[in-house]
């Protein structure tokens, strides 16, 4: 095939990913690939927006999608499969592609699923516990926001959306890094699978400052928080908690002291009387010992656990590189991959055949002319070395984001200013951010002009931008 081009409809519906690709079959007819379909749980009218998006998808594809790609288990990538379920029921689907991390038959994937489920349950309990403590209310809101990726605005589970996409009668593939996704119907395009990695260390690497435009992530265990919640609810004895730092026989329960159950040791009893319970301690502000209390401090780790759950799920993102065979140009769809996922690509190799040369990820990156910006433009989702490697002479980038909503839900630097600035530089201005005013206001001129790999651009204000890449 000659003159191969790819049309991408980039939906600009808010903080979430949804991209519809038209790839050329051998006979010239379109092969439809949908990559994700979701919106953030805090988006006002999010379900209505997704129904509008899916109605447009159905119209554009005439009710048939050849492949749907579900990149990872986050609400802002999968919510549409529940929110617009009736519309999707009227669309026929050829295949569904997930990564190995969503394969119920894979032992490593089952471990990840269990971790995510256990962490979400523990965090939901911690958020309830924190909600009644004034000094922890803001932290509780932050956890609830992150849990929006595990639970929808009305309590729907993102796992339900994933399984809705999986369906019962569809061909489902679970793709491995270092392999090519099967695309026999489109001989002019090759689809290389770059991530996610199987290495647990890389899955847990969410941020390294030197790798982005600006620390290693902390590893927080689910078990201590889960057990602490049970201890607090008196459904678990401290002696039965292997994560407890001390045995139940160590220390003195403050509640027992308050009820007058004093230790036999007179010196210890005198200390508590003087410091906490005696009249001098109660009436002298300088002797106030309330600052020593750590009643709710154990809940602070739940914030770190919530961030870890979010980041590790992002690092399970299925990352695809589509190569236009005729020109060798590459389109990179990084989903929400964070640093660990990006770093793993240096070890990814694609074996050659008599019809196809061997490839390495760096080779694909050097020929990248389109980049779907990772994780709505966050700093730790675009690796510096990789972006600098791309073909700046032709590069086009699209970032599905909503800076206003990100600020309201407490996301800082979404999008990250330095990352956005560099994207504008390396694309020579061919950088499209989905919340840009010109996309949503027909009175404003379009500032993006064709050039490089971008052959044409049109916009339907408030809904999408269409790109033709070659």
Residue 104: exposure state from Cβ atoms within 10 A (0-12, 13-18, ≥19): exposed
**Domain extents for the chain?**
6-120+140-218+307-469
User: Has residue 420 got a pLDDT over 50?
Assistant: yes
Q: What's the pLDDT tens digit per position in 34-86?
A: 999 999 988 999 999 999 999 999 999 999 999 999 999 999 999 999 999 99
More confident residue, 412 or 465: 465
Please give the residue that has the higher pLDDT: either 355 or 235: 355
CA-nearest of 75, 230, 192, 250 to 145 is: 75
Quote the mean pLDDT of the chain: 86
- Residue 6 near residue 322 (C-beta atoms within 8 A): yes
User: Which pTM value belongs to this model?
Assistant: 0.83
End-to-end Cα spacing for the chain: 13
> Could you tell me which residues come within 8 angstroms of residue 116 by beta carbon, excluding any fewer than 6 positions away?
73, 150, 309, 312, 313
- pLDDT by residue (tens digit) across 280-306? 766 766 666 666 666 666 666 666 666
- Of 202 and 174, the one with more pLDDT: 174
> Are the beta carbons of 450 and 457 closer than 8 angstroms?
yes
More confident residue, 443 or 254: 443
Domain spanning 6-120+140-218+307-469 has what CATH number?
3.60.15.10
What is the pLDDT at residue 412?
74
Q: DSSP state, 297?
A: G
CA atoms within 13 A on the CB side of 123: 31
Average pLDDT over residues 333-341: 94
For 28, other C-beta atoms within 10 Å of its C-beta total 7
Q: How many residues does the chain have?
A: 470
Which region among 252-266, 314-328, 337-351 has the lowest average model confidence (pLDDT)? Answer: 252-266
Instruction: Please give the pLDDT value at position 217.
Output: 37
């Amino acid at each position: 095939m000659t003159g191969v081009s790819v049309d991408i409809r980039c939906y600009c519906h808010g903080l979430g990913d949804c991209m519809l690709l038209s790839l050329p079959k051998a006979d010239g007819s379109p092969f439809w690939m949908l990559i994700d379909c979701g919106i953030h749980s805090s988006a006002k009218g999010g379900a209505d927006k997704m129904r509008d998006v899916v109605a447009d998808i159905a119209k554009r594809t005439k009710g048939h999608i050849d492949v749907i790609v579900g990149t990872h288990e986050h609400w802002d990538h999968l919510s549409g499969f529940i929110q617009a379920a009736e519309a999707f029921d009227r669309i026929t689907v050829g295949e569904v592609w997930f990564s190995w991390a969503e394969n119920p038959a894979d032992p490593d994937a089952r471990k990840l699923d269990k971790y995510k489920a256990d962490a979400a349950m523990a965090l939901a309990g911690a958020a309830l516990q924190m909600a009644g403590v004034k000094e922890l209310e803001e932290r509780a809101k932050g956890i609830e926001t992150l849990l929006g990726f595990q639970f929808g605005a009305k309590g729907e589970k993102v796992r339900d959306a994933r399984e809705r996409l999986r369906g019962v009668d569809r061909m489902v593939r679970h793709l491995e890094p270092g392999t090519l996704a099967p695309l026999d119907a489109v001989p002019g395009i090759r689809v290389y699978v770059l991530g996610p990695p199987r290495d647990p260390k890389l899955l847990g690497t969410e941020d390294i400052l030197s790798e982005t435009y600006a620390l290693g992530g902390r590893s927080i265990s689910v078990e201590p928080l889960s057990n602490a919640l049970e201890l607090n609810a008196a459904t678990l004895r401290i002696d039965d908690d292997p994560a407890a730092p001390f045995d139940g026989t160590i220390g003195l329960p403050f509640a027992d002291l308050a009820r007058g159950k004093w230790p036999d040791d007179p010196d210890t009893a005198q200390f508590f009387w003087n410091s906490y319970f005696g009249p001098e301690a109660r009436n002298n502000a300088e002797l106030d010992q309330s600052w020593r209390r750590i009643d709710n401090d154990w809940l602070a780790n739940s914030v770190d656990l919530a961030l870890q759950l979010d980041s590790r799920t992002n690092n399970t993102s299925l990352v695809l590189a589509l190569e236009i065979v005729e020109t060798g140009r590459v389109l990179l769809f990084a989903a929400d991959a964070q640093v660990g996922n990006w770093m793993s690509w240096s070890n990814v190799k694609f074996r050659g055949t008599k019809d196809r040369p061997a490839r390495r990820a760096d080779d694909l990156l050097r020929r990248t002319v389109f980049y779907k910006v990772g994780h709505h433009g966050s700093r730790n989702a675009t690796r510096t070395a990789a972006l600098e490697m791309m073909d700046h002479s032709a590069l086009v980038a699209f970032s599905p984001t909503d800076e206003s909503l990100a600020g309201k839900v407490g996301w800082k630097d979404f999008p990250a200013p330095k990352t956005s600035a560099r994207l504008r530089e390396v694309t020579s201005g061919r950088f499209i951010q989905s919340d840009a005013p010109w996309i949503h206001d027909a009175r404003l001129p379009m500032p993006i002009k064709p050039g490089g790999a971008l052959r044409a651009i049109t916009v339907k204000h408030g809904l999408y931008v269409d790109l033709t890449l070659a």
